[in-house]
Structure 1
Amino acid sequence: MTNHLMNLRHVPDDEADEIRELFEAHDVPYYETPPSRWGISMGGFWVHDDDEARRARELLEDYQRERLQRQRQAYEKDLAEGRTGGFWHRLRHKPVTTFAACLAIVVILVLTVAPFVTL
């Protein structure tokens, strides 16, 4: 019976490539279904054998734990170097874009709530 290992919806290309390399390096006989253009089917990595599925899931868990740690370190490094941040960082570095986005949010809120306020 086939075993679905991982959903490919919203998975970055570099992560999918690393998972393919991981499976190939450990001789996991997998196959892949791509996500549909319209987002109806999810796509993913699959294996046929239950034993291979257990082994592949263990590899995936280890990989995802390592990737999470790497991504957190990269984010913290970018945060320390001032390359990323929250709202105030964005407002300082891109004030026009941030103001336009805030204005659009306010306009949408007003248009959405106005019919109920006038009742």
Structure 2
Amino acid sequence: MAKLLLNLRNVLEDEADDVRAMLDQARIPYYETPPSMWGISAGGIYVKDNEDVPEAKRLMAEYQAKRRDRVRAEHEAAVRDGTAETFRTVLRTEPLRVALTVLAIIVLLGLVALPAVLLRGG
């Protein structure tokens, strides 16, 4: 029976490509399911044979550790260089998005406080 190796929800395409290449290189048979039309399932990469699952999980753990270390190093380098994304850079490059996000937060806080205001005033 097939086992889910990687749920593709919020997975970057380069990461999914790396996992596919890793499985191909290890000659581990797998198949992929597409995301559902309604967004209920994001799709996934499944290992076909149960006897390949431990090896696939071991390879996946190694890959994730290497990717984590690489991404952390890239982020630290960007912070050192001053090229990392900060609130100030987002505000400068996308002021409308920031303003709409702040407005949405204020509206949501107002909706959360509304029952208390209505109960207090009644």
TM over 0.5: yes
Secondary structure at the aligned position of 2:83 is classed as: coil
> What corresponds to 1:18 in structure 2?
18
Give, in angstroms, the shift of residue 33 of structure 1: 0.9
For structure 2, list consecutive stretches of 5 or more residues without a partner in the other structure.
none
Give, in angstroms, the shift of residue 17 of structure 1: 0.6
> What corresponds to 1:96 in structure 2?
95
> What corresponds to 2:54 in structure 1?
54
Give, in angstroms, the shift of residue 108 of structure 1: 2.9
Cα gap change, 1:37 to 1:103, in 2 (>3 Å): same
The aligned amino acid for 1:96 is P
- Pairing 1:4-83 to 2, within 5 Å after superposition: 4-83=4-83
Cα gap change, 1:103 to 1:48, in 2 (>3 Å): closer
Distance in 2 between residues matched to 1:115 and 1:54, nearest whole Å: 52
Number of residue pairs matched by the alignment: 118
Give, in angstroms, the shift of residue 115 of structure 1: 4.0
Secondary structure at the aligned position of 1:10 is classed as: coil
Cα gap change, 1:95 to 1:41, in 2 (>3 Å): closer
- Name the stretch that deviates more: 95-104 or 30-39: 95-104
Cα gap change, 1:94 to 1:118, in 2 (>3 Å): farther
Distance in 2 between residues matched to 1:103 and 1:48, nearest whole Å: 48
Q: Which runs of 4+ in 1 moved over 4 A?
A: none
The C-alpha deviation readout for 1:47-106, integer Å capped at 9, x for no partner, is: 232221111111111001101111111111222222224435544x34834344223311
